Amino acid sequence: MTAGTAVTPDYSPAPETIAAVLSRGARPPRPSALSSSLTFGWRAMLKIKHVPEQLFDVTAFPIMMTLMFTYLFGGALAGSPREYLQYLLPGIMVMSVVMTSMYTGTSLNLDVSKGVFDRFRSIPMWRPAPMVGYLLGDMFRYSMGAAVILVLGLILGFRPGGGPAGVLAGMALLVAFSFALSWMWTMFGLLLRTDKAVMGVSMLVLFPLTFLSNILVDPQTMPGWLQVFVDVNPITHLVAAVRGLMAGRVDGGEIVWTLAAGGVLTAVFGTLTMRLYNRR
């Protein structure tokens, strides 16, 4: 051995030392799928609490859209803004909430790009919980957006013939469909590289779906070739169902069509989203 060379002896902790730092209790049970999803839903709510500017898209945007379309087209299409409001408000509520749903994909993309989801994947829990939590948290945003438009509409003179029950049923159907549609944006959030790309593609899909529908005008006034697209547009059937519920005319066919479209969206894009998430 060379002089001056320090030799570090091997360290072997005593068994009682190891036992002191290890938990002697039973390992806590793995959280259920529901518990994990609700936890991440609460996380989404806390993000809104700490960054309240996120609520601008469900407050300022719906108010601006309602006022603009009511007073821009009301006189020309229905003779007065108040008369047009009875037709417009359910449609503009659908437009605002559906457009808000695309922010699910942009928020998800930001978390993925920052590496947050890599840390989530190391936690022993139900794997889809972070994404389901995002969607559950965003349902609060959808409900708030619909409520803001309803309150403004009542102030401007909207009078729903279906009463409180019809209004609540219409809003519940809208939120349920938006939840299903959000799966499409979560797929884009995982598939595309930047949040700006997610927003651009989402708007490219949403603009034809919302404007080429029965939101602003009766489809009977459109050219025949355009009515073909409008008639198969899921947003058209959603608006018809919500409008009927709020007016007190329950259209079972439109409600079933809307629920079926929501089920297809969830089945297709939910499955694709899970595959993309598991492969990342």
pLDDT in tens, the chain (280 residues): 455 555 555 656 555 565 555 656 666 677 788 888 888 888 888 877 777 766 777 788 889 889 999 998 888 888 889 899 999 999 999 999 998 888 888 888 888 888 777 777 778 888 778 878 888 888 888 888 899 999 999 999 999 999 999 999 999 999 999 999 999 999 998 898 888 899 999 999 999 999 999 999 999 989 999 999 999 999 999 999 999 999 998 889 999 999 999 999 999 998 998 888 877 6
Reading the block at residue 189, the tokens are 């959030």
In a domain, 13, yes or no: no
Range of the domain at 245: 31-279
In a domain, 210, yes or no: yes
Angle between helices 81-100 and 195-211 (to 10 degrees): 150
In a domain, 11, yes or no: no
In a domain, 7, yes or no: no
Buried b (16+ CB within 10 A) or exposed e, 153-166: beebebebebeeeb
In a domain, 209, yes or no: yes
User: How many folded domains does the chain comprise?
Assistant: 1
In a domain, 23, yes or no: no
In a domain, 14, yes or no: no
